[in-house]
Amino acid sequence: MRARRYWAFISYSRADADRAAAVHRRLERFVVPRRARGLVDPRGPGARRVRPVFRDVDEMVAAGRLTRRLTDAIEDSVAMVLVASPASAASRYVDLEVRHFLATHGEDRLVILAVHDGTDHPPLPPGMAGIEEPVWVDLRGGARLGQRDLVRVAATVVGVAFDELWRRHVRRMRKLVALWCAAAVVAATVVGYSAWQARTAAARSPEQQRAQFLEWYQRDRSVPEVTRPFELDVVRVDDLDNDGLMDFFVVNRTPEFCGSGGCLLEVFLTTAPGRYAPVLQQLGGSDPRVRPAANGAKEIITVDNFVSREPLYSVHALRGQAFALDHYEFCDGVIFEMCQPTVISPVSAPGRVAGGTAFRERPDPSGREVTVGAGQTVDGGSWDPTVIGAVEGVEWYLAEIWKGYCGFVPKNAVGR
């Protein structure tokens, strides 16, 4: 029996993207109780969690059929979760996805989440005509996906009877509560020592460190042109250099600090309580990630470039007193946590790309040609690409075509 790559494929209209993203997060975080793991469908990618789940984040372009990437993902999924609404019922692409799933899997592992407003029966794509008793969950009127409904979805996805999974899930949650209570009792026995520690640590608590940082930022980063308080968004707090002090990722959303490329993201290392050093600045880009590095510090990972619609991850490493771009990583459609990335090293002497060169979505002659913006194919005479990296292990380069849109070109297309 062939193992599948994904537990589920989420089919949805772009109008319901926020609801689909929330379901995606909740489903991948669901932990299958230990005593139920032997009951899950052996074709799934793993029994501990319901992950990975495939959710396409590309914008569809008029093509008249599903891409090979989507049909492969559907066929490589155990189940499908349909986010049902008037928008998805009218979507040609949702209908194509549902039809392909039913043709290759049947209807037993199809779950419908009704997310539209109102109390009427959820509208469904035409391809579901004839399905009499689908498994569906009522999230109409903005209702959240509660624990019982989440277990119902997970049970259908992993192939375990709902009553069996719900009973074991409740038992697991009771055990967790019991463990938390036991931990609280243990903590109470050392309250005297903890009180002394708490007084010492109060000055370094995350809340106080955050308040101290924001006060410093408003005072130290002020400019004469801005007389009102900054509109600040601390998007991440982390200990980047392993010194026990919190470091801050802040986006300044004050209009004077934003432009067509987005708002300014700044990263600050806390050198001492109340003292901060800027170590990275970027305009626009995604919310940053971090991961451990070999030297005990952490790497900062941002997304400010794309290959067609796939993200190109910029990995920044701590060098001395600042973070610098170390390399790029490209996952080619695989979720970041599971991919074996193509690694691209920045180049110091960029070179020029020959006119008429075809830019590829991956470093291989068989890769598809990249698109820019709303599906435009790259015209060699209309752009001024810049080589920004060399692919490790093969003779290909990464070039930025226009405003963060990138593609791969072979070595013989790059001159000095």
Average pLDDT on 66-77 reads: 91
Q: What is the pTM of this model?
A: 0.51
In the structure, what pLDDT confidence band is assigned to residue 61 with cuts at 50, 70 and 90? very low
Tokens of 299: 């790497």
- Cα angle 42-43-45, degrees, rounded to a multiple of 5: 95
pLDDT of residue 162: 85
Question: pLDDT value at position 204?
Answer: 65
> What DSSP character marks residue 256?
G
Decide if pLDDT at 345 tops 90: yes
The more confident residue out of 376 and 357 is: 357
Number of Cβ within 10 Å of residue 95's Cβ equals 18
How would residue 377 be classed by pLDDT, with cut points 50, 70 and 90?
Answer: confident
Distance between CA 78 and CA 47 in Å, rounded?
Answer: 13
From 156, 178, 160, select the one nearest 168 (Cα to Cα): 160
d(CA 381, CA 180): 64
Question: Residue 62 — pLDDT band, cuts 50, 70, 90?
Answer: very low
Q: Lowest-confidence range among 11-20, 55-64, 140-149, 298-307?
A: 55-64
Mean pLDDT, the chain, integer: 85
- pLDDT for 313 beyond 80: yes
CA atoms of 37 and 43, how far apart (whole Å): 13
Which of 255-264, 279-288, 373-382 bottoms out in mean pLDDT, i.e. has the lowest?
373-382
